[in-house]
Amino acid sequence: MIAPSILSADFARLADAADSVSRADWLHVDVMDAHFVPNLTIGLPVVKSLHAATDVPLDCHLMIDDPDRWAPGYAEAGAANVTFHVEAAADPVQTARAIRKAGALAGLSVKPGTPLEPYLEVLREFDTLLVMTVEPGFGGQEFRAEVLPKVRLAREHVRAGHLRLFVEVDGGISADTIEQAAEAGADVFVAGSAVFGADDPAAAVEALRRRARTAMNV
């Protein structure tokens, strides 16, 4: 699954950007509050408007403080998947349950420096694991292959039946790196500049999908 990140799109033309990738699986929306990460992007009102403007399911990645309070609202606004950071959550299990109750999939994200092992039991409550392959906060960073063991670990637990979730990667995903992530076990790929920086975003989505499928032998 390919999830273009609108962080790399023209914020004055978000509806057009969404339309240009109408064949994508998800549309990745980075919500930043300038507290949890040193950047400020968009919030709930824009997500509501974007949901009304596109049929592509919204994949909201909340890089914010106090996600326990705010995350369910994004599900209520129509997001298909709402992911928050374990590093910011006081009660990840209850927040996941609240997101699901509001009608969305629940996702848990971990920063590059956060180990996955302490959260393997918690992940039973989630539909998506988002492994950050860059430090969250800004687009355009270089892919960090040293985090791929976390992707492999998650995939091992999915294959063993211990977990049932999507394994998503976000950060530096491009034609040059998507195969590494796919081989490690990721099945959802967030790509920003590799899509919206291309002359033809729709073609870029399809090219990334082909590379991932080749690496996954699908």
Using alpha carbons, select from 36, 50, 38, 69 the residue that is nearest to residue 4: 50
Question: Which amino acid, one-letter code, is at 120?
Answer: L
What is the residue whose two structure tokens read 């492994």?
Answer: 131
Spatial neighbors of 210 by CB under 8 A, at least 6 apart, are none
Alpha carbons 14 and 166: distance in angstroms, whole number: 26
Is residue 65 part of the annotated active site? The answer reads no
Q: Indicate which residue of 33, 59, 127, 170 is catalytic.
A: 170
C-beta separation of 131 from 110 below 8 A: yes
Is residue 187 part of the annotated active site? The answer reads no
Q: Indicate which residue of 25, 30, 33, 199 is catalytic.
A: 30
Question: Which amino acid, one-letter code, is at 26?
Answer: W
Question: Beta partners for 190?
Answer: 3, 170
Sequence length of the chain is: 218
Q: Is 106 helix (H, G, I), strand (E, B) or coil?
A: strand
Question: Catalytic residue numbers?
Answer: 30, 170
